[in-house]
A and B are shown apart, each in its own frame.
Chain A
Amino acid sequence: MEKQSDKVLSIKGLTKRYGDKLVLDEIDLDVYKGQIIGYIGPNGAGKSTTVKIMLGLEGSYEGDVEIFGESIKENNVDYKYRIGYVPEMADIYDNLSAREYLSFTGELYGLEPEKAETKARELMKIFDLEEVYDSRISSYSKGMKQKVLLISSLLHDPDLLFLDEPINGLDANSVMIFKEILAKLSEQGKTIFYSSHIMEVVEKISSRILLLNEGKIVADGSFEELRQKNKEGSLEEIFNQLTGFKEYKDLSEEFVQIVQRDKT
């Protein structure tokens, strides 16, 4: 369906082991321009490992990973000019102010220091953070930190975005802005890799959903396609079904019983 030249990311036979444990099992995946991929799966399914490999944080794996048509093993720096990343754990040099941090990361992408700084300031203003631009990030709230991370990942206008729980801590209004930004970016042909545990959001924003379970892709398609195939109403239910999780009723009942035990 898609043209070969629009292929942004291509993974073939990706396998990763930690010791004896198989984390990723022969993953094949092609991602095309403009797609918003909702990348979901239970804890420990191998989501972050995949993302780490694509970001070049994890060096030892079997299989091929090509980004923008080039193997990331052979050329492990240049593709990074065109990607952006929001880490799940808010890893950030929080002793710096937002100004210092953002101009620094901007420069790492080769932006001019002054340009990076003005650009960052304008973006901060949109998120209503202009007053704290020169305060240390360590004094920020969770949501404010998250906004800084978002800005930092987008400052150099990347073509491929990796977002790991990007709306963690954001208020509803900021989430609204953020969702719109993603939609706009995808319209312009940017590709977004979105991992999250919040199914409602993934369901709404993704043009394609990938469900990973025990190191394998168990579902791949738009939300509509998944719904037809699995005859379930919401992504949450599809998720439960495909990951084989049925005991939630029993478990929740047991939980409540234990809570109410020994009450005097």
Chain B
Amino acid sequence: MKNFNTLKLLDLFKVFFEKAGIDYRMMRRILQVKLTMDGRRTSTVMSQNMGSNKKSDQNQFLKSLWFYAFIGLTLVPILFVGDNYMFQVSVITGVFMFLIMTTMISDFSSVLLDVRDQTILGTRPVNSKTISASKAMHVTIYLFFITVAIISTSLIIGTIRHGILFGVLMVLTILFSDLFILAITAMLYYVILKFFGGERLRDMINYVQIGLSITIVLGYQVVARAFEFVELEAQFTPEWWTLLLPPVWFSAPFAVVLNGETGTYYFILSALAVIVPVLSFVAYAKILPRYEENLVKLMDQTTKRSKQKRFDLFKRIASLATRSKEEHAFYRFAEKMLKNERELKLKIYPSLGFAMIFPFVFLYNNYSAAGSFDVLGEGRSYLSIYAALMMIPGVVIMLQYSSKNKGAWIYHVTPVTDLTNSIKGTLKALLIRLFLPLFSVLSIIYTVIFGIRIVPDLLIVFLVTFIYSVLCFKLIKGTLPFSEPFESSTQSDGWKTLPFVLLIPIFGLIHLGATFIPFGVWIYLLLAIVMTPLIWKLGLKRSPSV
């Protein structure tokens, strides 16, 4: 096991730990083990792009720091927007706190919620203080790295521009906001565990992870456009509701010290900036022992029995959409997998978010060109809805994976004669349960913008989606759904989808062509209605042998 530099650094503080009654040698050893294990797992930020070079013990986390540093870089321009510290610092701490909070939840919940610690460390002669301390230090080490990565550029440039005092205040602010976030995250978990139990908490963490993935990609979009807003007025007007925003609290001391602002409002804010983090941390320290006790709930797998509804809409849809018993079974199975498997959701749901957003990115560009909504509404920009199809290759390729892929033996021992049904059922479940709702929402918005006239076009797009997804299924060449471990997904998966993504503009162009021919759209629609079932029948055929 490596002797981590981080730990050598920590050795400098040995005396403090020993003073606090912590067995330092033991804590160091536990941390060493934990850090080694972390080197063998991937973080959410990187798991989107990273292949499985799992062999090396290099900490993925350290690589993801570059990413945080990059985000930190984008904060720098804010320092040059006027001289109003309330604005500058609020924005910077706001972004900072958001990033830290989401990373804490998505990547370090495994640290905060590791129940194995209970049986492995709790039963050994290590006092509970040492165990808690090593847990806290473990999180602190990472928090420290991420903090430094995000903020150091802004801190240095801010100090140069606004002076030493700014730098000192900034360091304190960041320290307090870290403290605050650490405490409230832990307390959030505590509350959820206390009232809802482990499954709900795991779901919540999963959704935060999904949200983080979406935000990061969106972040690129926003940052790219952010420079357009640089001219915007950086004014700050005190309102009562700003008292509720932690980033505003943290910016108040800057305004008091550097802008020379006075008045009760600023003093209240500054007081909040100090008192709330301290109080929340004290509360956190108080509940920590009980927190560990509630953690046991995570091991408790029991969930409430769900009520069986008499009329289940999704059941009806499943029967309507499928043709044979086998296909029905696979449809229902895929439906449940897509709904319940957290790791699969983490890979798939962000793409859904992008599918929702990308059409509008294109639409926005066209809107800028058209100048007004009326002009836009008369044009053919509705074809930008094809951008929603961009998610399909990536999602289809993910359908072959599952974190519980070992369950795939079921395909081989059951007398399923025709595995075509497994593919049809899975694909239908994907299109109907995930794509259709999203497409419906898009369609409604588009119909509002472009009018009833585009309804046949939307129908075409929907049918084309079915054709397109059959083509995409060629990507996974006969691998059965949910039968491969995520670890076997590789970087090349992303490249493989590229040619399929490039098919989308072609579909769009064909459609565009049809709109110039009289009745072209109707003819195209008719053609699509005839072709879709045919392509499904022929395109998905595969030999019964596995």
Residues of A whose CB lies within 8 Å of any CB of B are 55-57, 59-60, 76-81, 83, 85, 87, 89, 91-93, 95-96, 100, 104-105, 107-110, 136
Cβ contact within 8 Å between A77 and B119: no
CB neighbours of B26 from chain A (8 A): 108
Cβ contact within 8 Å between A96 and B33: yes
Identify A109's interface contact among B120, B124, B128, CB under 8 A.
Answer: B124
Bound complex: CA A87 to CA B299 (Å): 13
Interface members, chain B 143-193 (any A CB < 8 Å): none
Cβ contact within 8 Å between A57 and B124: no
Is B293 part of the contact surface with A, judged by Cβ < 8 Å? Answer: yes
Bound complex: CA A29 to CA B1 (Å): 43
Cβ contact within 8 Å between B33 and A100: yes
Bound complex: CA A155 to CA B116 (Å): 19
CB neighbours of A136 from chain B (8 A): 40
Cβ contact within 8 Å between A96 and B299: no
Bound complex: CA A78 to CA B124 (Å): 9
CB-CB under 8 A for A80 and B125, given A59-B293, A87-B119, A91-B120: yes
CB-CB under 8 A for A57 and B119, given A100-B1, A105-B124: yes
Cβ contact within 8 Å between B119 and A108: no
Residues of B whose CB lies within 8 Å of any CB of A are 1, 26, 29, 33, 36-37, 40-41, 115-116, 118-128, 293, 299
CB neighbours of B116 from chain A (8 A): 91-93
Cβ contact within 8 Å between A91 and B115: yes
20 A-B pairs in the complex with CB atoms less than 8 angstroms apart = A57-B123, A60-B293, A79-B125, A80-B123, A80-B124, A80-B126, A81-B125, A83-B123, A85-B119, A91-B119, A92-B120, A93-B33, A96-B37, A105-B120, A108-B26, A108-B29, A108-B121, A108-B125, A108-B126, A110-B125
Closest 9 CB pairs of A and B: A80-B125, A91-B119, A108-B124, A95-B37, A95-B40, A81-B125, A85-B123, A91-B116, A87-B119
CB distance from B403 to the nearest CB of A (A): 13
Is chain A's interface secondary structure helix, strand, loop, or mixed overall?
A: loop
CB distance from B317 to the nearest CB of A (A): 26
CB neighbours of B1 from chain A (8 A): 100
CB distance from A207 to the nearest CB of B (A): 24
Bound complex: CA A100 to CA B299 (Å): 25
Bound complex: CA A100 to CA B116 (Å): 16
Residue among B37, B115, B125 facing the most chain A CB atoms (10 A cut-off) = B125
CB neighbours of B36 from chain A (8 A): 95-96, 100
CB neighbours of B33 from chain A (8 A): 93, 96, 100, 104
CB distance from B397 to the nearest CB of A (A): 25
CB-CB under 8 A for A55 and B123, given A91-B116, A92-B116: yes
Bound complex: CA A96 to CA B36 (Å): 8
Cβ contact within 8 Å between A57 and B122: yes
Cβ contact within 8 Å between B122 and A56: yes
CB-CB under 8 A for A109 and B122, given A96-B36, A100-B33: no
CB neighbours of A92 from chain B (8 A): 116, 120
Cβ contact within 8 Å between A77 and B293: no
Bound complex: CA A5 to CA B311 (Å): 69
CB distance from A114 to the nearest CB of B (A): 13
Bound complex: CA A91 to CA B299 (Å): 11
Cβ contact within 8 Å between B37 and A93: yes
